[in-house]
A and B are shown apart, each in its own frame.
With several copies, the nearest count.
Chain A
């Protein structure tokens, strides 16, 4: 089980602030997780597709596509940050 959190534009577009997901075998990275979510189609495919720019964090640290993901992790997807 992993926790996925969505922020800002992604949260609104997906209509979801967070979800708990059983990690399927073979999904071991952020990129793998993104591909899995995009298979939901529709807004998922659009928001997490290559045309939309977004960032990910694993356990509250900025992550890359190849960053590992395992049961118990907190994964977040969000747009590029605009604070300050």
Chain B
């Protein structure tokens, strides 16, 4: 279980290779990469600036990963989240979840992303030709996180 908050970019293949070391029982690796879209709600995004709450960010993501480990059979997982100035097409976030079987890896990865979106203290500011503004939180993200609190496990 590793969390990295960094300004630098990351390489997915390299991160997975590192995470796999010493885990011959892994059969399934699910990764999520979030990237800066070139269009966001109609505005042309020139830049994105990501602010975070150092300390709490790491704690909250570790807590989400621990929950994922309690719910599914996971071997290991990794979250990398970039902060600072990002350009269109840049990678923002990486979640990698490894398991013996794919169902657990898919569920664990989506669960971590859904909670990260609603509980990890990051804030995005968009700089467009019309000026800079803070991105508003989405109702759909809250709903995505809430579905996991139903007690019925997914297949």
Which bucket holds chain A's interface residue count? 10 to 19
Stretch at the interface among A20-28, A30-38, A43-51, A76-84: A76-84
Dominant secondary structure at the B interface: mixed
Q: A5: which B residues are within 8 A, CB to CB?
A: 53
Is B120 touching A9 in the complex (CB atoms < 8 A)?
no
Shortest beta-carbon distance from A73 to chain B in Å: 13
Q: Is the CB of A7 within 8 A of B117?
A: no
With an 8 Å Cβ cutoff, the count of chain B residues facing the other chain is: 29
Q: Within 8 Å CB of B53, what residues of A?
A: 5, 7, 57, 60, 76, 78
Q: Can you name 17 extra interface pairs (CB under 8 A) apart from A7-B53, A83-B52, A84-B113?
A: A9-B123, A60-B53, A60-B56, A61-B56, A78-B53, A78-B123, A80-B136, A81-B117, A81-B118, A82-B136, A83-B50, A83-B117, A83-B121, A83-B123, A84-B34, A84-B81, A84-B93
